[in-house]
A = this chain, B = another copy of it.
């Protein structure tokens, strides 16, 4: 049986009724965490640019844009997907290196709003979308990740699955949906060299492409039946040495959404372990940045490939600079959304402290990646002593979890620009999601109803 067929069977068989209560609760946390990021991003310039293009192109009033107004489901997915990725606080799955929320949730929410699906159907779709894209991402990682932005490429399958579940597609249709999704999968890491806005385009476009694939299958449009494992398919074209069977091993018995990690720091996930260590070591040892003469961070190669940047030129680039993040954590004691500012970017103290930071690869840590995203930090203090600490999992990983209350708190911070009653509406909607009869109520309080 083809991988697509196995995924299609899994998707059609998945029912809300059979989901364990903790999976439902966890999915709701994912949605809340996603929404905070989407709202926080909605005022950013690149998101406005995308919304302007969506407005120019026009579209049926099917789904709400977090920037205001309604447009087609594809445009809503494009804008909302991009918006939820820009503040770099959306969820992440280590083993597949995928931010699933930023692709799967905007796709699911747009289709659910359009088709007036229930909260339970939305939860089903999101659980299914996470499962499929995580499994694909795990199978192709880490080789795929060198060139390809897994969130975009593998995420396309997740968005497609979520849409197909909400559209009630049959097995055969889902196979075609996956075929059309996979042949649209794209997103190269090259943008990172310039800190270009492709980082936001990728998840939005993946969500859009996933929906497009599902809508095409609705009309009878066919796609490759073995898009994943086929000899000229996704896996062979875009990664090395993959066992296709890995993708479906144990499928139906797992709820991989539970492996999701949440971000507390507002930077690239590959900097979080180091920030955690710095914050913890300073607190535990009562050390201030003035007393730290040298910082050595040892971690895995991919972390350095993406975040070894001793001179970030923008706030955005700073979130991808391990040296900057470590210095920020040393000086401010935190690295939240409101710590990354234009003022802090060239703050002479932070820039000076950055020069004390050394980063390198640790072969043992590297060997355990991507199963573990680890780091070790050593601080040489002015009194001649050195303190060392090692973190196996960044805060927010399932092995080092955050509480529901911390996610609610994070949401309130991210949604700060929203009216107070809108914030409470969202919190209540998500809290009671399994009892919501019509997801169109979700964005009922969004400003600027009508055409985007």
Contact = CB atoms under 8 A, between A and B. Distances in A.
Interface of A: 45-46, 48-50, 52-53, 56-60, 62, 72-75, 146-148, 176, 179-180, 182-194, 196-198, 201-202, 205, 212, 215-216, 218-227, 230-234, 236-238
A59 to B, nearest CB: 5
A282 to B, nearest CB: 35
Contacts of A183: 186-188, 190-191, 198, 201-202
Contacts of A75: 57
B188 A237 contact: yes
A371 B379 CA distance: 61
A232 B50 contact: no
A371 to B, nearest CB: 23
Contacts of A216: 49-50, 53, 197, 201
Nearest to A156: B186
A60 B55 CA distance: 9
Contacts of A219: 48-50, 52-53
A337 B309 CA distance: 58
B56 A60 contact: yes
A188 B226 CA distance: 11
A65 B142 CA distance: 42
Contact of A190 (B73, B148, B230): B230
A184 B196 contact: no
A418 B74 CA distance: 33
Contacts of A73: 57
Contacts of A187: 183-184
Given A57-B215, A189-B232, A197-B222, 6 more contacts: A46-B221, A49-B220, A179-B196, A190-B234, A191-B227, A194-B222
